[in-house]
Amino acid sequence: MKKIIVLLAVALIGVSSLSAQTTVEGQKVHKTSNKFGAMGGHIGYAFLGPTVGLHGDFCANNFRGRAGFDVFIDKAVCLGFDLGFHYLINLVDGLNIYPIIGASIGFGNMDFHLGLDLGAGIEYNFRNGWGIFADGKYNVGFIVFDAAPYRSYIGVTKRF
């Protein structure tokens, strides 16, 4: 686990220095949204089955927080809440990658889960305020009873 965290930190430092340039031939490049908030929906797959959810974003330059609510659909319905933090790394105009670190809590019939989320994602922001994304998270559980360690999502976001 320590090796993965060190590799993610080295990649983040290396790629962020490459994306530091803000102009291309005198024209400003659309790097990240200058909007403070966003809302959206996502679908995905967790270790236990499919999931659907809603999320809200709050942004400050390249830093973003995302609060999410998920419904896991398995033999029984489980609910999950997570709060993740992203650092947006611009690759090309509108296309960003981001590491994810956050916390999550989930509960269902007789299940309870509390853990740390680690992952990565990619997004594309259209100029009209809409964006699409895909990300994956691995959960390091602190309190775990029958929980899903890996989740992947695709979704849409509307910035405002």
Which CATH class, in words, describes the domain spanning 2-159? mainly beta
Cβ contact 76:87 at 8 Å:
no
Measured CA to CA, the distance from residue 86 to residue 121 in angstroms comes to 9
Q: Which of 27-41, 74-88, 102-116, 134-148 has the least mean pLDDT?
A: 27-41
Query: How far apart are alpha carbons 138 and 119 in whole angstroms?
Result: 6
pLDDT, tens digit, 9 for 90 and up, residues 17-30: 444 444 445 444 44
User: Counting beta carbons within 10 angstroms of the beta carbon of residue 1, is it exposed (0 to 12), middle (13 to 18) or buried (19 or more)?
Assistant: exposed
- H/E stretch holding 139: strand 130-144
CA–CA separation, 117 and 101 (whole Å): 5
Mean pLDDT for the stretch of residues 110-121: 89
Q: What is the pLDDT of residues 37-82, one digit of tens each?
A: 999 999 999 877 899 999 999 999 899 999 999 998 877 788 999 9
How is residue 13 written in tokens?
């430092």
